[in-house]
Structure 1
Amino acid sequence: MKALTDRFVPQPSSSKSEKHETSLVSSDSEPSDNNNNKSKFTLRSESSTSGHKQVCAATWTSLVKKVSMASGAIKRFHDRVLGPNRTGLPSTTSDVWLLGVCYKISEDEPSKEETDDGSVVAELKQDFSSRILMTYRKGFEPIKDTTYTSDVNWGCMIRSSQMLFAQALLFHRLGRSWRINKSEQPEQDYLETLEPFGDSEASAFSIHNLILVGESYGLAAGSWVGPYAICRSWESLACKKRKQTDSLPMAIHIVSGSEDGERGGAPVLCIEDATKSCVEFSRGEDEWAPLLLLVPLVLGLDRVNPRYIPSLKATFAFPQSLGVLGGKPGASTYIVGVQDDNGFYLDPHDVQQVVTVNKGTPDVVVDTSSYHCNVLRYVPLESLDPSLALGFYCRDKCDFDDLCLRASKLAEESKGAPLFTVTQSHSLVTHHSSCEFVEDDTEEEREEDDWQLL
């Protein structure tokens, strides 16, 4: 991914090369292993004004061509990683679960697939297209003290996480049954959901602010990060913004099996800790608050271990489901639904111009079309990178209790491979930055549980 990033993101020029009277001008967006490498270098002689003008003209022409080719290169990379033709419905008879809602596809549905007449497929597509899409953006203000004005080729995990958080806010403000109406002026609650995700430091949940608070977890402009790091960064950002404003109307609780989130195994959802997060969020005024649960997981080595796939699919049937942050190595997506062993996802790997969503201008029609996608895309779950994160939104205590019951039942049915487990108190766990098992078992028992240490 670093090599791919280097192809499209301009790098700072070397100060040493600027001191030479004769130097080589090159474009960092060309791959270094090209056999015609010599053709992309031009000799610059400062003693020749006309030669310098020719070099500038040639360099500018080359740059324009390469920028126009960038989107095509991204598309080719996307096709290699996620698959070029996996669109539509992989099956016309299997049920589709989309963030807790079931769509039963009948055999006569294919003839209605392209219609908008209230068929099951049409309802599914309307639901899918109502989910909020976040993609690469270009033309935003530089991030911190860098020259990055675009997150092309490195910001896909950040964008995927923004989608999950935006969906949680959408559920909180408008409910799961909300659907976008493209023929009407968007609701204020909908615009208020999008506004904090603008691409500037002034927007609470922007890529700029995530990188600012996520430095200790490895977030940096131009660098790709994993699910655990992005979850912890969101926790830090929410805590910071909570002290300044009430921009996030829910508590965040991270469920992790180890301090660094990379050890693997089955994390433990400690009910006492979740309750504590809610109390702290409400500043002690309430015993409970709306809660966003994030569960970073490592479910294999090179790809998801098949023994976890049944449980992974089952979580999409939870009414609290916010989907999965996951994808292929170096190419994150936001998975919002499943059918059989395939996952439907929203794809951040599209480059769009920065747009401004402002809820304070009711008389101006706001174009939010770039925040939605009408194309169903799917990827085999078995091909996913094993590092991923689950998301759940619990509106109240009853919702949380229901999630705990469902998760406990799913763990019991997992045949020894639970995604995560649930416990009431600290009596069986030690809490650091998250709950984890106390290693007080015998050596023999620990060896029997080695499958957890992936």
Structure 2
Amino acid sequence: MEAVLAKYENQINVFSDLLEDLPDTEEPVWILGEHYDIKTEKSELLSDVRSRLWFTYRKKFCPIGGTGPSSDAGWGCMLRCGQMILAQALVLRHLGRAWRWGKDEIPPEEYMKILHCFLDRKDSCYSIHQMAQMGVGEGKSVGEWYGPNTVAQVLKKLALFDDWNSLAVYVSMDNTVVIEDIKMLCKLSSRNRLKASPCGPSDQKGIGEALAQCATQSPGGSLGLCPHPPSSWKPLLLIIPLRMGINHINPVYIKALKECFKMPQSLGVLGGKPNLAYYFIGYIGDELIYLDPHTTQTVVEPEGNGSVDDQSYHCQRTPRRMKVMNLDPSVALGFFCKNEVDFDSWCTLVQQEILKKRTLRMFELVEKHPPHWPPFVPPTKPDVQTTGAEFIESTDKLFESEEEFEILNV
């Protein structure tokens, strides 16, 4: 079976265009909020793309659930794309947009901790194991195809168990982003974190003393100060599932879609073609640039000191492209806002560049919670001491499954 899938993936790769084949053009290339002149900044462009964490199919990992599949080849591409969009949020959170990966350089400790979150192990908080098993609560059997909305719901649930990265995940409903709800989510989550975390002041202890007592376990086993002092805003991962047409993308949405890649808060787009999920990170002209998860690699195990051979987690060939009109109409947009000022800036950009300039809006941005909607209740972490996959049965009643919004036609 793996041989058949590998042959199919190779056929996909053969027919994909390469960035090197781009025509000589004056048009800028946009990659996750950064623009490049392909004539003069090609090496910088390729370094940027190469620095994104690239998650692909893997094989020979510990069977999911103990008796399930030991490879996600053929079914896990959208889960891998979900990992990539989340990993980009974590890179922005801990390392910043200007950080670049170097093949022979010693990476920052935060980078290695981010990578550990996604290793193909049942105890990694965003592993294929955790995502596939948490998907059971969304009505998906292990080994079944996912759409972007289902992946977004899975990430939202798993993030509740992730104290180190401490993200607030908001997945929009009905093509509508509610500012009031997001601010409630980020500020309430931040207050709860202050109460629960040893990083926050408690009783008669000041913030300085609390910070001095806060230590986190690194992959190598060393202790260090809590990397994130208390704040009044929990960093936001915003995911907006959309359908931009019925069977094909409506051309009226294309300019607005491109504007999203220009925003400094951009995390890219989850989407693809029928049966093929891609992680779109930018565009040039009428073509989208993406990272392709359809390559099967052998699982990577961490070494005794916690370090990981990360060569296979960075796509070192030229990135792939596809015509924007070939995009399946169902996608999910991703954005990261590290603080409230960042979120307010994103709202302003959306109003100016997407809503005011379009007669047919890609999505709505509203100030107040719609009165005809059910009340907004921010999700809270269940009272358990481990990550979500081991508690599928106990958490089913805690999470109400969102309405299905399948993206890819399968």
Query: Structure 1-normalised TM-score?
Result: 0.70
Specify the alignment match of 1:74 in structure 2: 9
Instruction: Mark the CA change 1:211 to 1:68 in structure 2 (over 3 Å): closer, same or farther.
Output: closer
Q: CA deviation at 1:69?
A: 5.3
Out of 62, 65, 72, the residue aligned to residue 151 of structure 1 is 72
Specify the alignment match of 1:361 in structure 2: 305
Q: CA deviation at 1:409?
A: 1.6
Q: Which has the higher contact order (CA 8 A, sep 6+)?
A: 2
In the aligned structure 2, how far is the partner of 1:419 from the partner of 1:144? 39
Which secondary structure does the structure 2 equivalent of 1:223 belong to?
coil
Instruction: Determine if the alignment matches structure 1 residue 399 to structure 2 residue 342.
Output: yes
| Residue type of the alignment partner of 1:144 | G
CA contact (8 A) 2:269 2:331 kept: yes
In the aligned structure 2, how far is the partner of 1:434 from the partner of 1:417? 30
Q: CA deviation at 1:221?
A: 2.1
| Residue type of the alignment partner of 1:272 | E
Tell me which structure has the larger Cα radius of gyration: 1
Q: CA deviation at 1:423?
A: 1.5
Which secondary structure does the structure 2 equivalent of 1:177 belong to?
coil
Out of 184, 200, 213, the residue aligned to residue 276 of structure 1 is 184
| Residue type of the alignment partner of 1:281 | S
CA contact (8 A) 1:227 1:325 kept: yes
In the aligned structure 2, how far is the partner of 1:427 from the partner of 1:205? 32
Structure 2 portions without partners, runs of 5+? 195-230, 379-410
Out of 95, 100, 113, the residue aligned to residue 28 of structure 2 is 95
CA contact (8 A) 1:271 1:422 kept: yes
Specify the alignment match of 1:23 in structure 2: none
CA contact (8 A) 2:89 2:237 kept: yes
| Residue type of the alignment partner of 2:148 | P
Specify the alignment match of 2:96 in structure 1: 175
Q: CA deviation at 1:126?
A: 0.5
Specify the alignment match of 1:84 in structure 2: 16
In the aligned structure 2, how far is the partner of 1:433 from the partner of 1:386? 28
Instruction: Determine if the alignment matches structure 1 residue 423 to structure 2 residue 366.
Output: yes
In the aligned structure 2, how far is the partner of 1:124 from the partner of 1:78? 21
CA contact (8 A) 1:136 1:349 kept: yes
What CA deviation, in whole Å up to 9, does each residue of 1:43-101 have, x standing for no partner?
Answer: xxxxxxxxxxxxxxxxxxxxxxxx5554223222555xxx4334435343210110000
Identity %: 37
Instruction: Determine if the alignment matches structure 1 residue 232 to structure 2 residue 140.
Output: no
* Cα root mean square deviation, aligned: 2.2
Specify the alignment match of 1:310 in structure 2: 255
CA contact (8 A) 1:296 1:387 kept: yes
Out of 352, 357, 379, the residue aligned to residue 409 of structure 1 is 352
Out of 239, 255, 266, the residue aligned to residue 172 of structure 2 is 255
CA contact (8 A) 1:200 1:208 kept: yes
| Residue type of the alignment partner of 2:329 | P
| Residue type of the alignment partner of 2:257 | L
Specify the alignment match of 1:351 in structure 2: 296
Count of paired positions: 339
Out of 32, 48, 59, the residue aligned to residue 127 of structure 1 is 48
Q: CA deviation at 1:147?
A: 3.2
| Residue type of the alignment partner of 1:321 | S
Out of 90, 104, 113, the residue aligned to residue 37 of structure 2 is 104
Query: Structure 2-normalised TM-score?
Result: 0.78
In the aligned structure 2, how far is the partner of 1:277 from the partner of 1:172? 18
What CA deviation, in whole Å up to 9, does each residue of 1:358-400 have, x standing for no partner?
Answer: 6x827x6x42110111222111111111111000000111100
Q: CA deviation at 1:104?
A: 2.2
In the aligned structure 1, how far is the partner of 2:21 from the partner of 2:342? 31
CA contact (8 A) 1:138 1:352 kept: yes
Which secondary structure does the structure 2 equivalent of 1:197 belong to?
coil
Q: CA deviation at 1:428?
A: 5.9
